[in-house]
């Protein structure tokens, strides 16, 4: 059962403005990634369903967070079907993210009061996801569907929409400012934040500082809008 309610998880996504997106089949590495991000001020984490037995690693990571990182809000990403969603919710996921929108996943999440952030690439897909009860939609892949311009164009006739792009988002002001100026509520960030060199070198202090810098930059951008 999720340790955080749907409202708590989704509000944290809004408040922090960035969600690290990562997968690692090594539990110790996943724990260190989570710890560095949370210590750096990013307490909402998306662990993606990308490898064999990924849900087992997720389950162990959730148990670790419950004891060692109680402020962490851990969710599962790359979820494509209802069965997988149920498995991760049963393993403690506080929110579910998908690269596409699946009505069956929405039903499972709504039944358990777990936030569902589905992938959308058109205004029609966004509207359909909102009809399913999705409070935040993931524009994916962000750079391929039109970048910040797409977000701005969607929000003009649909200003109630909450958008979180993933893909094509970097940790620089040149990348982040256009997204937030366009109106996104948060951004999903994968290898630009949790980079392969950090994992290879075990440079967890570097990831913690990068997380702090990213949060500070996003807060600065939001404050200037």
3-class secondary structure, 77: strand
- What is the predicted pLDDT for the residue at 98? 97
Residue 1 domain flag:
no
Mean pLDDT of each 10-residue bin along the chain, 225 residues long: 95 98 98 98 98 96 98 98 98 97 98 97 97 96 90 98 94 97 98 96 98 98 97
Residue 33 domain flag:
yes
- What is the predicted pLDDT for the residue at 41? 98
3-class secondary structure, 107: helix
| Residues 181 and 149: beta-carbon distance below 8 Å | no
Count up the domains in the chain and report the number: 1
Q: Residue 41: which CATH number?
A: 3.20.20.70
- What is the predicted pLDDT for the residue at 140? 87
Residue 100 domain flag:
yes
- What is the predicted pLDDT for the residue at 141? 85
Supply the range of the domain harboring residue 45.
6-224
- What is the predicted pLDDT for the residue at 96? 98
- What is the predicted pLDDT for the residue at 144? 86
| Per-position DSSP letters for 85-142, written without gaps between them | HHHHHHTT-SEEE-SS--HHHHHHHHHTT-EEE-EE-SHHHHHHHHHTT-SEEEETTT
CA distance 80 to 86: 11
Please report, to the nearest 10 degrees, the dihedral formed by the alpha carbons of residues 60, 63, 64, 69 taken in order: 140
Facing residues of 188 across strands? 19, 166
- What is the predicted pLDDT for the residue at 142? 86
- What is the predicted pLDDT for the residue at 78? 98
- What is the predicted pLDDT for the residue at 178? 97
- What is the predicted pLDDT for the residue at 143? 84
């Amino acid at each position: 059962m999720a340790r955080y309610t749907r409202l708590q998880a989704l509000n944290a996504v809004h408040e922090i403005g960035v969600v690290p997106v990562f997968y690692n089949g090594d539990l110790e590495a996943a724990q260190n990634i989570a710890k560095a991000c949370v210590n750096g001020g990013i307490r909402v984490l998306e662990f993606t369903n990308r490898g064999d037995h990924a849900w087992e690693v997720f389950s162990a990571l959730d148990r670790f967070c419950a004891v060692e990182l109680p402020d962490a809000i851990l969710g599962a990403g790359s979820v494509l079907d209802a069965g997988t969603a149920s498995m991760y919710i049963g393993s403690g996921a506080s929110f579910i993210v998908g690269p596409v929108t699946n009505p069956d996943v929405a039903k499972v999440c709504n039944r358990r009061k777990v936030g569902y952030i589905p992938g959308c690439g058109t205004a029609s897909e966004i509207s359909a996801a909102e009809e399913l009860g999705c409070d935040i939609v993931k524009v994916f892949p962000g750079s391929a569907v039109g970048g910040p311009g797409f977000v701005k164009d969607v929000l003009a006739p649909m200003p109630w929409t909450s958008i979180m792009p993933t893909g094509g988002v970097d940790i620089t002001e040149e990348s982040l400012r256009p997204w937030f100026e366009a109106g996104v509520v948060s951004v999903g960030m994968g290898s630009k934040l949790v980079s392969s060199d950090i994992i290879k070198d075990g440079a967890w202090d570097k990831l913690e500082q990068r997380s702090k810098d990213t949060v500070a930059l996003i807060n600065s951008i939001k404050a200037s809008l």
